[in-house]
Structure 1
């Protein structure tokens, strides 16, 4: 797992103060919607912060810190709906949100935080934490359903399964060097977490957010993401897969700033951008990556890529892989 911060044991007051400042800055950058409180790096304790990218998700791993984390109505203002899943295989911790308190005393290593609600958490220095953020869009759940499921996560029979899955995810790019495989692992993790959340719901929790047009929109988005590489992907194939007309399909996007197909093209551009930045794909031609993600015409791909990101595909690849310092020079 790529290391963002590695602090050796620091016995001196000055070195511990410096370590605390570096740790606070790193943790604040990873969770800008929260405020870090009471952060300590105990003497003679090594502490690390790592993050592994698995396609659509990132797994953050923290060890060796004692800290608190607080989210208020002010800090979460404007934050998109989603959850933060935490797996704590060891240590002491507490979590309070929406009038419900949980801790390591329950023996459960999994907790779920609704990122659109105020919360506070505290962890001891002996706590190991693996944390993953999932957006409501990724999970295919509306805000109301997400909140209902997160508040009752202890009802899910899949918590232990999810914990084992997260703990077993690869923490080193070398273990899974192929970007496509890492992306598949990320997609599989999203599906498993979604199943855990839904299994915690009661009849009626999903009504209004999982039925009708909003649910259909989310199902279509998830279908498109799974079929981005399919050269036959089109409004007709998408409509057919969901037993609706093409007219109905386009109607779902009628109040959006972009059309359905513009949304599809942007998702393909994102996937191509990730592949170009993947060291495991460095040997592949740009044109081959473009074809994989639905752009058979290299000229068209280059033009759309530059319009979206301000760089040519080759410039982006060089910048991402550290081959050049100034790609626009």
Structure 2
């Protein structure tokens, strides 16, 4: 794996360097803090779905304005490590000074400013928000703060980021993928540890609302044979991994839930006195089953006997379901 150097980011090319920052990190406005030539560089190395960037430049103020957030969305969160120089970071109503060796979380989905007051070197870990799987309000609780590399999760994440910045170009792709996942997990843990109890209560309520929304979506689309974790997650703009996490406390997987609801609706229809004219195959197809054999197995697993026998013996209710 080799670093991906910035194009046209040499002496005097502030506009070119700004474009590269926009392409690799997020669209920003770069304002010079001194007259004369502007010297800067930018390199990037992928770690799976994570991107590790190294920025070095003369004093400059980087700002992501509300207009840029709207016109050029960036669905990602970053950890910035200030290696050289001092910087003032502002986001979400909080400001902090980053000294050499300190890091901070920056939510690229919202406005921020980073004022580098002298020539600097900055390492940036860019993580897509769908991979991070952390609610935006939880990320908001940790932005605009300097993270001490001596305590808690930052004591693990900051040295790892510094080391990766030096060695990432020599790491095999398979190892880089694993490291990308590890750093993402560390960042998610950092955000979780930094959230306060009120945030946890808010997150619990938001989770419950999302679960209810998913359940309604499943019921509305049971007849779609393509209904599954991927389509459900896409409809709610969350990752499949986060969808599965939502249902960890529900004692059933998402796929099993979809199948159970389909079987239940088939059982209701077969139990109706007026459904005798509809074949078992037609009923199962109407509720999203790809094959009668699959439906028969699923039905027997839930109710204890095949659907044909159920229609001949069942009353107008669905009866007792196996636990």
By the TM > 0.5 criterion, same fold?
A: yes
Distance in 2, matches of 1:240 and 1:205, equals 20
Larger Rg: 2
Residue 119 of structure 1 corresponds to 112
Distance in 2, matches of 1:131 and 1:150, equals 15
Residue 212 of structure 1 corresponds to 208
Residues paired across the two proteins, number: 229
Is 1:36 equivalent to 2:30 in the alignment? yes
| CA displacement, residues 198-226 of structure 1 (integer Å, 9 cap, x when unaligned) | 111111313343543648976851698xx
For residues 305-316 of structure 1, the aligned pairs below 5 Å read none
Give the aligned CA root-mean-square deviation in angstroms. 3.8
For residues 127-142 of structure 1, the aligned pairs below 5 Å read 127-142=120-135
Residue 103 of structure 1 corresponds to 97
Q: 1:241 to 1:171 in 2, by over 3 A?
A: farther
Say if 2:52 and 2:165, in contact at 8 Å, map to a contact too.
no
Q: 1:202 to 1:173 in 2, by over 3 A?
A: closer
| CA displacement, residues 29-83 of structure 1 (integer Å, 9 cap, x when unaligned) | 224432222277976x964211000001000101233211111221112736542
Say if 1:153 and 1:200, in contact at 8 Å, map to a contact too.
no
Cα shift at 1:115:
2.2
Q: TM-score, normalised by structure 1?
A: 0.57
Give the stretch that moved more between structures: 163-172 or 144-153.
144-153
Distance in 2, matches of 1:149 and 1:250, equals 37
Distance in 2, matches of 1:49 and 1:69, equals 14
Distance in 2, matches of 1:54 and 1:195, equals 19
| 3-state DSSP of counterpart to 1:128 | strand
Gaps of at least 5 residues in structure 1 are 11-15, 225-237, 252-329
Say if 2:32 and 2:61, in contact at 8 Å, map to a contact too.
yes
Residue 221 of structure 1 corresponds to 241
Residue 41 of structure 2 corresponds to 48
Is 1:168 equivalent to 2:163 in the alignment? yes
Q: 1:146 to 1:64 in 2, by over 3 A?
A: closer
Gaps of at least 5 residues in structure 2 are 215-232, 260-323
| CA displacement, residues 105-146 of structure 1 (integer Å, 9 cap, x when unaligned) | 5x6611112223322111144311011222332122112222
Distance in 2, matches of 1:207 and 1:82, equals 24
Give the stretch that moved more between structures: 211-220 or 80-89.
211-220
Q: TM-score, normalised by structure 2?
A: 0.58
Say if 2:92 and 2:140, in contact at 8 Å, map to a contact too.
no
Is 1:196 equivalent to 2:190 in the alignment? yes
Q: Select the residue among 6, 21, 24 that pairs with 1:27.
A: 21
Distance in 2, matches of 1:118 and 1:86, equals 15
Q: Select the residue among 75, 86, 100 that pairs with 1:92.
A: 86
Q: 1:165 to 1:181 in 2, by over 3 A?
A: same
Distance in 2, matches of 1:180 and 1:62, equals 25
| 3-state DSSP of counterpart to 2:67 | coil
Residue 293 of structure 1 corresponds to none
Distance in 2, matches of 1:87 and 1:167, equals 8
| 3-state DSSP of counterpart to 2:174 | helix
Is 1:244 equivalent to 2:252 in the alignment? yes
Cα shift at 1:249:
4.7
